[in-house]
Amino acid sequence: MAKPGEPLKPYRTAVYDNRRWAKFVHRPGDIFVCTPPKCGTTWTQTIIASLLWPDGDLPDTVMTLSPWIDAEFYPIDEVLERLERQKHRRFIKTHTPADGFPIYPDSKYVFVARDARDAFMSMCHHAEVFKNDVRASLNKRALEDGVPPMPDWNGDVHGFFAMWNGSGVFFDHIASFWKLRNEPNVLLVHYNDLKRDLSGEMARIAGFLDIRVPAEKWAATVERCTFEAMKARGDQIGSFWNFEGGAQSFLFKGTNGRWRDALTPDELAAYERRVERLPADCAAWMEHGRRAVALVGRR
């Protein structure tokens, strides 16, 4: 865990750079949506937006209200100026592990995870629909800065899996927040639990964030966060300008288990060897959610 003022472990790719946190000025009560990629980040941002605006009258798109600090898409000064102008309670996205950005005691951290195999399959689609010109622009800057480029998508799921699983980045990210699971300002949320009981998990998130939604507005608040409702109003979630097909492509299926028909027995064995490096209870939670493990001292 990186406390304010402590050196941060470096995390840099062609897409994001955690050095951008150096200029960030936090406010008490800030909310951070923390996830590895493709684990329900946009879903969780939409949930928090719906809780903060239970009438559905968001002042802007979810992605504009809740910027991704680490991403290199916009100059950091522009992103921070946008945040500084916000008068409401802020909620901010990051894909950086817990040791790569500051953890403030008066802020709240919602960490969302998913079965790594499902996240991988979603990442394949993500890579496939990511616009080539955006990739080229990010890679140009990355190469000038000595950072490995973002690989092109050539449809080779197996080659992509070998690289993704071999790096171990996803699993290290999970482990970094698992260590914080008993901190009072950290809440662990799982994709499977959101799918299983959206209303119950939203109530859990609202309680953690000290947000009170009037009972008569609860059903509509939850309904706005179903996958179907999000896809139907994609333009209210974000422009998704960097993906072919925009919101309809980015908000793809939201399903689990596609890896069963895509990964070979050898690949699944390699995955299991990687998972064995995690604590057993952490691995169980990562794959299955709260039903799989009792989080001692948690809500």
Q: Indicate whether 3 belongs to any domain.
A: no
pLDDT tens across the length of the chain (299 residues): 566 666 789 999 999 999 999 999 999 999 999 999 999 999 999 999 999 999 999 999 999 999 999 998 899 999 999 999 999 999 999 999 999 999 999 999 999 999 999 999 888 887 888 888 888 899 998 899 899 998 888 889 999 999 999 999 999 999 999 999 999 999 999 999 999 999 999 999 999 999 999 999 999 999 999 988 988 888 888 877 667 665 555 555 556 778 898 899 999 999 999 999 999 999 999 999 987 765 433 43
Residue 208: inside a domain: yes
1 belongs to a structural domain: no
71 phi, psi to nearest 5 deg: -70, 145
118 in a structural domain: yes
**Residue 85 belongs to a domain:** yes
- What residue numbers bound the domain in which 254 lies? 18-292
Alpha carbon separation from 240 to 9, 37, 130, 299 (Å, rounded): 29, 15, 10, 34
Total domains present in the chain: 1
Q: Which residue has 């490096």 as its token pair?
A: 277
Q: How far is CA 255 from CA 29, 39, 241, 285, in A?
A: 33, 11, 23, 18
Query: What tokens appear for 37 in the block?
Result: 């990629």
pTM of the predicted protein model: 0.91
Q: Where are the beta strands (DSSP E) in the chain?
A: 31-34, 91-94, 108-113, 186-190
Helix (H, G, I), strand (E, B) or coil at 153: coil
**202 domain residue, yes or no:** yes
Answer whether 212's CB lies under 8 Å from 206's CB. yes
What CATH number is associated with residue 214? 3.40.50.300
Answer yes or no: is 197 within a domain: yes
